[in-house]
Amino acid sequence: MNRRYVTADVFTETQFHGNPLAVVLDAEGLSTSQMQAITAEFGYSETTFVLPPRDPANTAWVRIFTPSREIPFAGHPNIGTAFVLATRAAASGKPLPDRLVFEEAAGLVPVTQMKDGGRVVGAELTVPERLTRASALSAESVAACLSLDPGDIRTDAHPPQVASVGLPFVVAELASREALRRCVPSLVDYKKVLPVDGATSIYAYTRDVGDDTSSDIQARMFTPRMTEDPATGSATAAAVALVADVRGVSELLLRVGQGVDMGRPSILITTVDVHEGQSRVRIGGKCVNVMEGSFSLES
């Protein structure tokens, strides 16, 4: 059986920028081990597998894999999968509803199409969980993980801390854009510090954006594989929710630049609304299709 796939670049409108994603459209019948092997073969930070919804009221059941494991939720895979499904449906003359609902391990994930002149250009999702704050880490330990000096870590707003809105990350604020450029993950120190409270990756950001008028903060995210992710929706959503929480604000919108230092610039638009003590976090961005094809598996 041939199985179709599409790749898209997420959080950008320029091909070969943003975060690449592979979407396998005909995933029914694939085993978990096969999905894991296919993901490793694509080699992207994540690959999604689209299956029929278990509840027909929803759009699809979506499983998300990194090259090493299945994860319950992630930002750019949801944004990209919604964009791919919506653009293919529109091209076939059977457009999907503006609001899609994906069944995932973290729960139901609503995703809204972003349109420009009636054309699908991206998507915005509401994260499945409210902000949770777990362990705080020392500036010294996180600085070592990123090959920085402890003075490069800002702690006046919050210490480096595990934060999650569906997937946990260590979130650390850096003192300058220059420090963000100098980040190099250290395998030895990662193994000393991580995992902690389920977090295996470090998301570093800075409010120092220099002359970059396209973003409010700049960020980088490093995985335990010592790789850098060009645009991380779930980490960005957790970080902005954390910033809103420590500032004590009821509304916050931030344009987050990521991937610049690795040559894949991305822009993620994140909004936090707090009502009666409960935060709602939305994250969105533009997307562009890149490739499509099919593959078959040997029995």
Domain boundaries, the chain: 2-127+286-296, 132-282
Residue that the structure tokens 């409210």 belong to: 130
Contact by Cβ (8 Å): 185, 146: yes
Q: pLDDT tens across 247-295, in order?
A: 999 999 999 999 999 999 999 999 999 877 777 899 999 999 999 999 9
What 3 state SS string does the chain have?
CEEEEEEEEECCCCCCCCEEEEEECCCCCCCHHHHHHHHHHHCCCCEEEEECCCCCCCCEEEEEECCCCEECCCHHHHHHHHHHHHHHHHHCCCCCCCEEEEEECCEEEEEEEEEECCEEEEEEEECCCCCEEEEECCHHHHHHHCCCCHHHEECCCCCCEEEECCCEEEEEEECCHHHHHHCCCCHHHHHHHCCECCECCEEEEECCCCCCCCCCEEEEEECCCCCEECCCHHHHHHHHHHHHHHHCCCEEEEEEEECHHHCCCEEEEEEEEEECCEEEEEEEEEEEEEEEEEEECCC
State the virtual CA torsion across 124, 235, 253, 10 in degrees, nearest 10.
Answer: -40
Contacts of 53 (CB under 8 A, 6+ apart): 59, 60, 61, 103
Mean pLDDT for 13-39 is: 97
Residue 199: how many CB atoms within 10 A of its CB? Answer: 25
d(CA 85, CA 88): 5
CA 257 centroid distance within chain: 13
251-258 vs 217-222, strand pairing mode = parallel
* The CATH fold of domain 132-282: Diaminopimelate Epimerase; Chain A, domain 1 (3.10.310)
Measured between its terminal Cα atoms, the distance across the chain in Å is: 10
**Look-up of token digits 């998507």:** 123
pLDDT at 279: 78
142-158 pLDDT, tens per residue?
A: 999 999 999 999 999 99
Architecture of the domain spanning 2-127+286-296: Roll (3.10)
Q: Which residues are catalytic?
A: 46
**pLDDT tens-digit series, residues 58-67:** 999 999 999 9
Q: For residue 213, how many other CB atoms are within 10 A of its CB?
A: 8
Strand pairing partners for 172? 204
**Residue 278 bridge partners (DSSP):** 275
Is there a common fold for 2-127+286-296 and 132-282?
Answer: yes
pLDDT at residue 277, rounded to an integer? 73
Q: What pLDDT does 136 receive?
A: 98
Q: Distance between CA 235 and CA 55 in Å, rounded?
A: 28
Q: Give 162's strand partners.
A: 170
Spatial separation of the C-alpha atoms in residues 207 and 219, rounded to whole Å: 9
Q: What is the pLDDT of residue 299?
A: 63
User: What value does the mean pLDDT of the chain take?
Assistant: 96
**Cα separations in angstroms, 85 against 133, 157, 261:** 33, 40, 30
- The model's pLDDT over 157-212, given as tens digits with 9 standing for 90+, comes to 999 999 999 899 999 999 999 999 999 999 999 999 999 999 999 999 999 998 88
Residue 111 has pLDDT above 80, yes or no: yes
In this prediction, residue 281 carries a pLDDT of 93
Q: What is the pLDDT of residue 286?
A: 98
**Cα–Cα distance measured from residue 83 to residue 75, given in angstroms and rounded to the nearest whole number:** 12
Tokens of 145: 């993980």
Q: What's the pLDDT at 1?
A: 82
Which amino acid is present at 298? E
